[in-house]
A and B are shown apart, each in its own frame.
Chain A
Amino acid sequence: MSRRTGSDLPLVLMALLLTGFGVATVYSAGQTDVPISAVQGAWVRQLQWLAVGLVAFVVTTRLSVRFLEWAALPAYLLAIALLVVTLVFGSGGGTAESMRGWITIGGQRLGQPSEMAKLAVALMLAKVLTAYRTTPRSLMELVKPAAVVFVPWALVMAQPDLGTGLAFIGLFFVMLFWVGVSGPLLLFAASPIISLVLASSTGLWAAWFVLLLVVVWWYKPYVVEGVALVLANVMMGVAAPILWDKLQPHQQDRLLVFLDPSRDPRGSAYQVLQSRIAIGSGGWTGKGFTAGTQKRLAFLPEQHTDFIWAVLGEELGFLGVTAALVLFLMFFLRVIRVATRASDSFASLVAMGLAGSWFVHVVVNVGMTINLMPITGIPLPFFSYGGSFLLACWIAMGMLYRISAEGRGLAGEFPIMST
């Protein structure tokens, strides 16, 4: 039952603008006074990947929403299989040598399965949530969707890839919010993670725990759930130091540096320090396209991948940063519009899931360049150099385009599927 009402040109145009902006910045990142082999010519490879991505986009637009719903389970299982394979046989890539995030055959890196896994999880979670008769009102009802996300999340975290892990969490909560899970319940679902983070400070954790008890008392969940919730939070508070010890030293450093960037300016804090210097020295209008000295003289780390935003900030200044941020915001608003006008719940949820995962990417990536967020090695959608991610983004664009095309043309005319 596909009812095509037209093509969402603004959506595609915005994505193309973002990608063009990104390729230009990748090009600039390669313009250095110091030869850096990994960066030189990266923009050409990025363009090649874009060509592949656009083909994939066109192909994906041909897949109906119903087909996507049907394909959700196989895609999800395939994604998990690939993640397992990656974990066992994978290799480090580029700047993340210590990670096992890449599938490599015959020395040729084929891609990062975790990027495709995000799409599969969005589809699968949408399918699972759509199957509910009513909006989940208890934690018990959230166990199944949580399990859908948890399995790939755990596999990704084992690589370890904190950034993609964060994207899964973003996707999960955005989609729960979209199906109407109430605020307190979202808080309960998130509470073990919050406990984990706050456990670094006993006082903070205690305050959080009291707040949680108040909300539990006010919301009155099932007794079993309430007890389980409190126990889970206590356990997380206790487990935090143990988990902390299990973190890699460089991950610990990154978190500590986030809390105090002045520590160890030559080591872990170096990246964020140099990134802030690059962005801050850009001023209103920047040092000019390709003319950033922090980038040219190799003070800036990872300038074509994780820290590409710093190149933009240094060379185009606050005006360039604002332009890119506004473009991203318009893009997200457009995707939300697609979600609100989708033909059915599944399509709407997929659109929101994709938006949620991208949003986490943008906020964390952009935030970390000025130390608002810890450095997690998360790429910037449409901007950062990287084939799998660009390809995944454009496949997602294909889905969105299709969802938009199948959606209703006018507001208020919400169709289909009533019980």
Chain B
Amino acid sequence: MNLQPNEVHRRGRVAAGIAAACVALLGAAFFRTQVLEHSRFALQSDDNRLNEVPLPAPRGMILDRNGEVIAENVPGYTVSMLGHRSDSLRAALQRLAAVVPLSDSQIATVVRRFRASPARPATIITDASFEQVSVLEEQRSRFPNLVIQAAPKRRYPDGRAVAALVGYTGEINEAELAREAYRDYKPGQQVGRAGLERQYERDLRGDEGSRFVEVDARGRVVRQAGARPDRAPVPGPDLHTTIDLDLQRFVASLFDSTMQGGAVALDPATGAVLALHSAPIYDPNAFIGGIARAEYEALRSDPRTPLYNKALQGAYPPASTFKLATAIIAMERGIVGLDDRMAQPCTGGYLFGSRYFRCWEKDGHGSLTLAQAIEKSCDVYFYQLGLRLGLDRFLTGGTELGFSQRTGIDLPDERQPGWPEATAYFNRLYGRGNWTNAVTLNLAIGQGENDQTVLSMARFYAAIATDGNAVRPHVVDRPVERTRLFDLTPEQLAGLREALHGVVSTRGTAGSAAIRGVEVAGKTGTGQNSHGKDHGWFVGFAPKDDPKIVVAVLVAFGEHGYVAARMATKIMERYLKTTVIAPTNTVGG
């Protein structure tokens, strides 16, 4: 067979055309892949080779009103490991166990962390010591996937003295990560667990940065740095509080190691919290870098409940400190004046129906005016005042004074105080017809179905200290929020303050707490406690005519209010003598 020249040339052109067309088609396909879809593939290529190592952001510092440090950051190290597959990670950890002590259960935890978030280095040691870091750095070449990261570590220079306020931080756990509120959190990050750290978590946490390491197809780190520019972390902004750190330390020092209770100091004009403490208290620094399980269990099971903030979360019968509420509700309704006397003088008790209600002074106080009854804290006077007021009006009045509402302080877990808003409460509690007007007598002297927090009593006395308006307490400066609690004339208010001043005088129940040079006004309380010794209260303010500070102190199982009174007046003295001269409005920002 012969190929004809013309045919061959024709077919040659066809073949050349087909070849050119195929090559052009390939060229077009590569144009699409390499030019049009370049950005997508470039991204995938970077995803392949770059592993992100988080650079933790330093939390914002927490400062007192004078810029003194309540919470700060000190240099620390975390040790973590980048994984590829869980079995290779486990093998690497087992080799690492020869260098730093690692138990099998710790290895299992690290592998679990890796599985939960494979793209991030799994934390091995949250707070590595300098010695551990140096040993690991020496062995670095054996563990290419080891990530040793400088991580700012939280520190509270005053430790226990500020714990009730600031709380503490910890590594976010799996349960928290599953919650919607922590959607934008990642394993290994720190999160505020209590107090200000928790309340202002969003402000304090800052923005995590990252650096990039280059890994090969089997997940081994090939280059530690320089594969892509780092993204610097953004530190959280500083948190400026209204706390007076000197006063806070002083308050904490007043509670000795055997005492239980809480204390709050407020600026009555603004609601600024000057100090807040609860005893006994834990060391917040112990939580940093992870607290040992045994230590935490000991804190949790301690019957003196150190993890429980007794200034915010503890509710106690306010006892005689509540007599001011009874008086104000009655005065506001024109039922009684400061100079009015009750029908029966105090003979050490009051017979109501078939029950005999005692006065704490079993010898009796005789006939007293309201002002005198406040000074002496006469129970018999207030039994009668309560009955004259009537239960319905009394309950409504107490509700209007805010005794059934939280104060709204900017700290987590504030307890709602217990005050029956209507008689329906008693029907629910005891059953209709199964209770008598005797409840009125108990409520009138601050006992019975009434549980208040230290903070809620401080708020009430701040209203007496000013003009009948309550302020919302706050730790971080914010616009003053005042709510009208009661309407009394300035003369009535002045008379009440005078009577409260009488309490802390030779005439009153807390004469021993009087302090030379400070005109203190306040009220003691001894709350009956079915579980043991009585609780001692003192709530008051100073100076009496131009109050600068309101203090509420509760000493649980403290037998009588004068213990609390002595502590409270010392707090007032400390504040007035050292601070009040200095400008108080340095906070902000």
Q: A residues bordering B, Cβ < 8 Å?
A: 33-34, 129-135, 174, 177-180, 274, 276-284, 293-294, 297-299, 313, 317-318, 321-322, 325-326, 328-329, 332-333, 336-337, 339-340, 345, 348, 352, 355, 359, 363, 366-367, 370, 372, 411-412, 414, 417-419
Q: Which residue of A lies closest to B214 (CB)?
A: A297
Query: What are 28 inter-chain pairs, A to B, with CB distance below 8 A?
Result: A34-B218, A34-B222, A133-B1, A178-B15, A180-B3, A180-B11, A277-B44, A277-B45, A280-B33, A280-B34, A280-B41, A280-B45, A281-B38, A281-B45, A283-B35, A294-B45, A299-B48, A299-B217, A313-B34, A321-B27, A321-B34, A332-B16, A333-B16, A336-B16, A336-B19, A345-B1, A366-B26, A411-B9
Q: Is the CB of B34 within 8 A of A277?
A: no
Chain B 312-353 residues near chain A, CB threshold 8 A? none
Chain B 514-548 residues near chain A, CB threshold 8 A? none
Q: How far is the CA of A281 from the CA of B39 in the complex (A)?
A: 7
Q: Is the CB of A336 within 8 A of B15?
A: yes
Q: Is the interface of A mostly helix, strand, loop or mixed?
A: helix
**A282 contacts across to B, CB distance below 8 A:** 34, 38
Residue interface mask B127-154, A partner, CB < 8 A = 1: 0000000000000000000000000000
Q: Which residue of A lies closest to B36 (CB)?
A: A280
Q: How far is the CA of A294 from the CA of B44 in the complex (A)?
A: 10
**A284 contacts across to B, CB distance below 8 A:** 34-35, 38
Q: How far is the CA of A278 from the CA of B7 in the complex (A)?
A: 44
Given contacts A281-B41, A337-B12, contact A34 B20 (CB under 8 A): no
Q: How far is the CA of A114 from the CA of B139 in the complex (A)?
A: 51
Q: Is the CB of A363 within 8 A of B34?
A: no
Q: How far is the CA of A329 from the CA of B27 in the complex (A)?
A: 11
**B40 contacts across to A, CB distance below 8 A:** 280
Q: Is the CB of B38 within 8 A of A280?
A: yes
Q: Is the CB of B35 within 8 A of A279?
A: no
**A130 contacts across to B, CB distance below 8 A:** 1
Q: How far is the CA of A313 from the CA of B31 in the complex (A)?
A: 11
20 new A-B contacts at CB < 8 Å, known A133-B1, A363-B22: A33-B216, A129-B1, A177-B11, A178-B15, A276-B41, A279-B34, A280-B40, A280-B44, A281-B41, A283-B38, A297-B214, A313-B30, A325-B23, A325-B30, A329-B19, A329-B23, A339-B8, A345-B3, A348-B3, A363-B26
B256 to chain A minimum Cβ distance, whole angstroms, is: 64
B42 at the binding interface (Cβ < 8 Å): yes
Residue interface mask B41-80, A partner, CB < 8 A = 1: 1101100110000000000000000000000000000000
Q: Is the CB of B8 within 8 A of A348?
A: yes
**A326 contacts across to B, CB distance below 8 A:** 23
Q: Which residue of B lies closest to A412 (CB)?
A: B5
Q: Which residue of A lies closest to B43 (CB)?
A: A281
**A328 contacts across to B, CB distance below 8 A:** 23
Given contacts A277-B45, A277-B48, A336-B16, contact A283 B11 (CB under 8 A): no
Given contacts A180-B7, A299-B217, contact A279 B30 (CB under 8 A): yes
**A299 contacts across to B, CB distance below 8 A:** 48-49, 216-217
Residue interface mask B220-259, A partner, CB < 8 A = 1: 1011000000000000000000000000000000000000
Chain B 469-523 residues near chain A, CB threshold 8 A? none
A1 to chain B minimum Cβ distance, whole angstroms, is: 15
Q: How far is the CA of A131 from the CA of B214 in the complex (A)?
A: 63
B163 at the binding interface (Cβ < 8 Å): no
B215 at the binding interface (Cβ < 8 Å): yes
Q: How far is the CA of A225 from the CA of B447 in the complex (A)?
A: 113
A400 to chain B minimum Cβ distance, whole angstroms, is: 15
Q: How far is the CA of A313 from the CA of B38 in the complex (A)?
A: 12
Given contacts A180-B7, A333-B19, contact A34 B2 (CB under 8 A): no
**A419 contacts across to B, CB distance below 8 A:** 2
Q: How far is the CA of A280 from the CA of B44 in the complex (A)?
A: 9
A354 to chain B minimum Cβ distance, whole angstroms, is: 13
**A274 contacts across to B, CB distance below 8 A:** 48
**A359 contacts across to B, CB distance below 8 A:** 19, 22
Q: Is the CB of A283 within 8 A of B34?
A: yes
Q: How far is the CA of A359 from the CA of B20 in the complex (A)?
A: 11
**B4 contacts across to A, CB distance below 8 A:** 414
Q: Which residue of A lies closest to B23 (CB)?
A: A329
Q: B residues bordering A, Cβ < 8 Å?
A: 1-5, 7-9, 11-12, 15-16, 19-20, 22-23, 26-27, 29-31, 33-35, 37-38, 40-42, 44-45, 48-49, 214-218, 220, 222-223
**A366 contacts across to B, CB distance below 8 A:** 26
- Most A CB atoms within 10 A — which of B7, B40, B214, B216? B216
**A340 contacts across to B, CB distance below 8 A:** 8-9, 12
Q: Is the interface of B mostly helix, strand, loop or mixed?
A: helix
Q: How far is the CA of A336 from the CA of B18 in the complex (A)?
A: 11
A16 to chain B minimum Cβ distance, whole angstroms, is: 20
Given contacts A277-B48, A293-B45, contact A370 B15 (CB under 8 A): no
Q: Which residue of B lies closest to A297 (CB)?
A: B216
B303 to chain A minimum Cβ distance, whole angstroms, is: 56
Top 8 closest A-B pairs, CB basis? A280-B41, A414-B5, A281-B45, A340-B12, A297-B216, A298-B217, A318-B34, A132-B1
B216 to chain A minimum Cβ distance, whole angstroms, is: 4
A274 to chain B minimum Cβ distance, whole angstroms, is: 8
Q: How far is the CA of A15 from the CA of B191 in the complex (A)?
A: 66
Selected from B27, B29, B35, B216, the residue in CB contact (under 8 A) with A298 is: B216
Q: How far is the CA of A306 from the CA of B503 in the complex (A)?
A: 97
Q: How far is the CA of A178 from the CA of B38 in the complex (A)?
A: 40
**B37 contacts across to A, CB distance below 8 A:** 280
B375 to chain A minimum Cβ distance, whole angstroms, is: 84
A310 to chain B minimum Cβ distance, whole angstroms, is: 11
Q: How far is the CA of A280 from the CA of B215 in the complex (A)?
A: 20
B83 to chain A minimum Cβ distance, whole angstroms, is: 16
Q: Which residue of A lies closest to B42 (CB)?
A: A281
Q: Which residue of A lies closest to B7 (CB)?
A: A180
A355 to chain B minimum Cβ distance, whole angstroms, is: 8
**B217 contacts across to A, CB distance below 8 A:** 34, 297-299
B9 to chain A minimum Cβ distance, whole angstroms, is: 6
Q: How far is the CA of A157 from the CA of B304 in the complex (A)?
A: 83
**A321 contacts across to B, CB distance below 8 A:** 27, 30, 34
Q: Which residue of B lies closest to A326 (CB)?
A: B23
**A348 contacts across to B, CB distance below 8 A:** 3, 8
Q: Is the CB of A322 within 8 A of B27?
A: yes
Q: How far is the CA of A179 from the CA of B40 in the complex (A)?
A: 47
A87 to chain B minimum Cβ distance, whole angstroms, is: 32
**A179 contacts across to B, CB distance below 8 A:** 1, 3
B50 to chain A minimum Cβ distance, whole angstroms, is: 9
Q: Is the CB of A177 within 8 A of B15?
A: yes
Q: How far is the CA of A129 from the CA of B34 in the complex (A)?
A: 43
Q: Is the CB of A325 within 8 A of B27?
A: yes
Q: How far is the CA of A339 from the CA of B49 in the complex (A)?
A: 48
Q: Is the CB of B44 within 8 A of A370?
A: no
Q: Is the CB of B222 within 8 A of A297?
A: yes
Q: How far is the CA of A135 from the CA of B11 in the complex (A)?
A: 14
Q: How far is the CA of A267 from the CA of B496 in the complex (A)?
A: 84
**B5 contacts across to A, CB distance below 8 A:** 412, 414
**B20 contacts across to A, CB distance below 8 A:** 329, 333
Q: How far is the CA of A94 from the CA of B29 in the complex (A)?
A: 30
Q: Which residue of B lies closest to A359 (CB)?
A: B19
Q: Is the CB of B30 within 8 A of A339?
A: no
**B216 contacts across to A, CB distance below 8 A:** 33-34, 297-299
**A336 contacts across to B, CB distance below 8 A:** 12, 15-16, 19
Q: Which residue of B lies closest to A370 (CB)?
A: B33
**B222 contacts across to A, CB distance below 8 A:** 33-34, 297
Selected from B2, B19, B23, B45, the residue in CB contact (under 8 A) with A418 is: B2
**B35 contacts across to A, CB distance below 8 A:** 283-284, 318
**A363 contacts across to B, CB distance below 8 A:** 22, 26
**B12 contacts across to A, CB distance below 8 A:** 336-337, 339-340
**A317 contacts across to B, CB distance below 8 A:** 34
Selected from A34, A339, A367, the residue in CB contact (under 8 A) with B220 is: A34
Q: Which residue of A lies closest to B1 (CB)?
A: A132
Q: How far is the CA of A411 from the CA of B10 in the complex (A)?
A: 12
